[in-house]
Structure 1
C-alpha cells in the first residue's frame, strides 16, 4: 500500500488524510515521502515540539497567525474573545520572500494533525487564497494530513466560542475542508505489537466499542501494590506535574552527587520548542530513556528505549541500554529549528535558524502521555483512573509492545473509555483504502494537465499591468506620454493572451477526457501542451516582459521614483518567475519547453552608468539645468557627464554653447597648445568655466585625432 499511497500523493492533486493505529508506520512514511518527492513542499505541525520532531516548522510561524481563536465570519466579534475574517487579513502582510515561497508551494504536509484545531486550518486557508490570488481552497495547494484522531485531541480553551461555527474542534470540521474532496487512507499493519489478543483489545478501546472490550483480560494486569524490581518500568502519567514529581523523588533517593549537563544552543531556538531539558541533572543509577532514534546507523537505541546511567563524568556519560550487557558512551545529538525559503532556482530550501545540542535522554521513571506520543516501551505502569482525557487510555496502552509489559495501578472501567463518534463518522465517510488504484489511474492524467494549465494561466498579467499604469500616472516624475504609449501597446496583447489561454484551457480538458475515454492519443495532448508552453513563453517575453523591462531601466535611477520603481519591480519579478517556470514544465515525465527558444530571463537591470542616464535625457532634448533638476545633480556634474561623450565626438556643441564661444575656443585650439586646464583657463576669456573647457577640449582633441588618422 505504501507505494500506491506515495504515487497517489506524488502524481495527483488529491488531498489526503493519512491515519493508522499507533505503531503502523505513519512517521516512517512521512520521512520516506519527504526524501523521495519531487513536489515543492513544506512540513508543518500544530506545536513547536511536534514541528521539531517532524523536521518542519509550526503552522503559526509559517503563516504569521495570531494565537487567538478565529471565527470564519465578517460579523463584528469582541476582540477579547476571538477575531473574524477582517481582523485576520491584517496579519497577511508578508515580506516579498515569504510571498514568493507561498506561491511556489505544491504540497503542504501537516503532521500530528489530531492536535490541529479546525479554526487554525481555516486561517491557513484564508492566507493561502489571499497570497496565491486564488478562489480555490488552500489556494489550490494539495494537503497531506498525518496523524491519529483517536490519540491526543486539539487543545481548546474557549470551546463554547468555537461551537458557534464548528461542530467540533477537530481539523476535519474546518469550513475549508467541506469543499475539498479529502480521502482517508489508513495504514493497517501494526509493527509495534504482534500479540493478536492485545491488538484486538487496543482496537476496541480505540474505537470505543465498550461492549467488545475484554475488560477481564485487560484487568488481569491490575497490580495495585506493584513495585518495580530489577527490570526498568516507566510510570505513565496524565500531567507534567505528576511525572516531574516522581522523577525528582527517585533522583533524590539515589546516593551521590548530581552532575549537570547544559545544552549547547546556537542561533535562534525558541525556548518553548526545546526538545529536551536545557540542563540535564543526572546521577549514577538513574533511569533514563532515549528521545531519538540512533542516527549513527548502529541502531543501538530507539525513541523510548530505556537505559541506566552508570557513570557521570564532566565530559562523558556512560549508560547500559536495557537488554544489552555492553556499556555505551552517550553522544550529544542536534535538533534544528528551521525556516523555509525559496532558492534562486525556485526550489524550496530549509534554512537552519538555530540548533539545540544535547544528550538524547531524559529521566524516565515517569513520563507524561503527551510526551510518550510516538514512543515504544517494553514495560509500563499506567494509572488510567486519574484525569485521562479522550483518547488517552488508548495512547497510554498502545505505547507498550505487549499486554504482559503493562502494570495497571487502577482498573480500567467502561467509564474511562472515551471516544468521539464524530471521528469514526468522518473516517467512515472518507475512507478510500480500497479505491487507491482506481483514484490514482483516473486522476494522474487530470493532475498532470491541471498542473500545466495552472502554470500557463496568464490572466493575472492584465490586472497587474493596469495596476502599474495607475501607479505610473500618479507619479509627478514620470514621462506620462511614454507610459501611455507603453500601456496602450501591451494592453491589447495581454487581453489577447487571456483569450488564447481560455481556449487552450478548454481544449486541454476536452482532450484529456477524450484520452481517458479512449478517443484520443496521449501524443495529441502532449503536442498541444508543448505548443502552448512555447507560444506563451515567446509571446509574453517579447510583447510584455522585454518592453516593460526596457522602460524600467530608463527610469531606474531617476529622482523621485523610488516607490514607483519598487512597485514596478514586483510586476517584473512576477513576469520573470512566470516565464522561467514555463522552462521547467513537464507533462508526466516529458519536458515541454523547446530549448531552441531558451533565452535568459531576468528582471535584474545592469546598473546604467550615471553619465549615460544624463546623456539619454540630453538626447531627448532636455537642457543642462533641466537635467540637473530632474536628476538631482549639480550642474557641474552634468557637464562632467557630457564631457565623456564629447570625448567620442557624440555631443552637439551648439546645444551647450553659443556659437561665438565655440569660435573663440576653436581659434585658441588651432593657434596654441596648453599643458593643462589651468593654462587653458588663463588663456581664454573669463566667462569660460573649467567644465566648459573640458567639454570643448575633449571634442576638438577627438576631431584632431580623427583627422590625423584619416591622413
Structure 2
C-alpha cells in the first residue's frame, strides 16, 4: 500500500479518457423519485457502452475487519437471501447502545421532522418561529413587493416557509452558500446567536452558527460580529430564491434543524456515533447506506432492527457484469514475457510526489526531473522489489562553463533509475561528462541503458553527449539512450541527426507531451527486436514510454 500511495497508478494502460468509478455508488441510493444511472431506459445505456469497470477493494472508512466484512455482505444481499446468523447477532447487539443526544438517522422526512421538533422543545424552550418573506411582482410598478402570507406553491427551493430555531439548536446548511469558505450543503453546527435589526423584531438579520468543523466559515468568522467571533461562530444571512413560475421570490435562512436527518442526506458522510432507525425503510440500499456511515460498531446504535429491511436492488449486479473491465486489454501484453527486457521512461516532475505502479513487470524504470537534492534520503521514494539510484542536478556538473555553473545551482532536474531486484543489473560509473545521466548494464542481455535530462545549450550538450556515446560504444553491442532532450524533433533534427549518425535509431514517432511535441526520445543500437509504446500518465504533461528488447532465440540470452 505504501508503494501505491507514492506512485499511485502512474502507468495507465492506453486509453482515451480516464474515468474513476466507485462501485459502491451503484449499491447506494439513487435520487429521490429519480432513476439510477445504471438503468438502460434513460435515453442511452451509459454504463455498458461508454464506461469501463474499476473495482476499488481498499476500505478506508472502517478499520475493523469484522465490521467491514459484515458491511460487504449486507451491501450485496438480495431480498430473498437469508442473513447470516452471526451478522444478525452482531447487529442486534447494537440495539442496546445509549441514545443520548446523538445524531439520529431516519428513512423518511416525517420521522426526521418529528424528532427535530421534540428535541427543539426539550433543548430550546425559548425557540422562535421564522416565517419566510415572500415577494411578488407588483401589478402597478412591476417591482417586487412583500406579500401577506406565502406563495401557494414554491418550486425548486430549499428555503422553508416556516423555520423553527433557537439558541443551542443543532442545524444544517441546506444550500451551498460559500464554497471557498466551506459553507456548503450538509455542514452542521449549533446556533449561538439570533440577531434582529433595529427596525424588525420578527425576521432576524443574522443567525450565528458554531460549525462542528472549525474551518467551515473561518473567513466570515474573522470579519464578523465581535461577540460571535469570541465563541467562534459564523454569521449566516438570509438567502433569496425565485420560487414561482411568475418570478415570485422567497427570502429565508438556508438552515434546517439537524438533531436528525434522512439516510439520503447522510450519504457520503462519515460519522463516529449516531442512532440509525430502520423503521419505515422504503428503498433498496437504504439500510446499508445508513449502517455504512460509521467507522466502527462501537458508535452504532440501531433502533427497530429487522433483517428484512437490509437488501440491495437485484439488477445492480447484472448492470455491473454487463460492463467491460477497465484493464481487460493490456496493449503491452504481447511484448511482456520471460524473454523480454523492458524499460519504462517517464518525466515525473518531483519524484517524492509520485510512485510507480509495477504491475507491468518492468525491469527498469527510468525517471527524469526527479527534483531530488544531493543529500536526499531515498527512503521516501523506494519501491518494493526495486533498487533506486539517482544522479541529482547539483552533483552532475564539474565544468567551469558559466551555463553549467548557473544550472548546477538551480533546483529541479536530475535523473534516477529503478532496477528490479529479480534481474542482474549493474550501475556503471560514468566519467565526468557534465550530463544529468545514469547508465545501467543488464547483465543477462548485455544491454546498456542511459537515461539523460538536458536543459543547457544544444552545442554544449552535443559536445558532452558525444563523449558519453564514445564511452558507451565499445562496452556493448546493444545500447539505449533515452530521456527528456527538451528539443522538439518535429522542429529540429540537429540532435537526432547527431546521434543517428553514430549508428542509432530513434524509435518514437508520436508526440510525447500534451502539447503535441516530441521532446522525449529513445535511441537504440541493437540486434534485438525492439518495440516502443507511448502511454498516458495522469500527473505530468509528459507521456510515459515503454521500450522492450525481445530475444528471438535462447542464444540471445
TM over 0.5: no
Larger RCO: Structure 1 or Structure 2 (Cα < 8 Å, ≥ 6 residues apart)?
A: 2
Q: Which has the larger radius of gyration?
A: 1
Higher strand share: 2
User: Structure 2 length as normaliser, TM-score?
Assistant: 0.42
TM-score, reference length from structure 1: 0.34
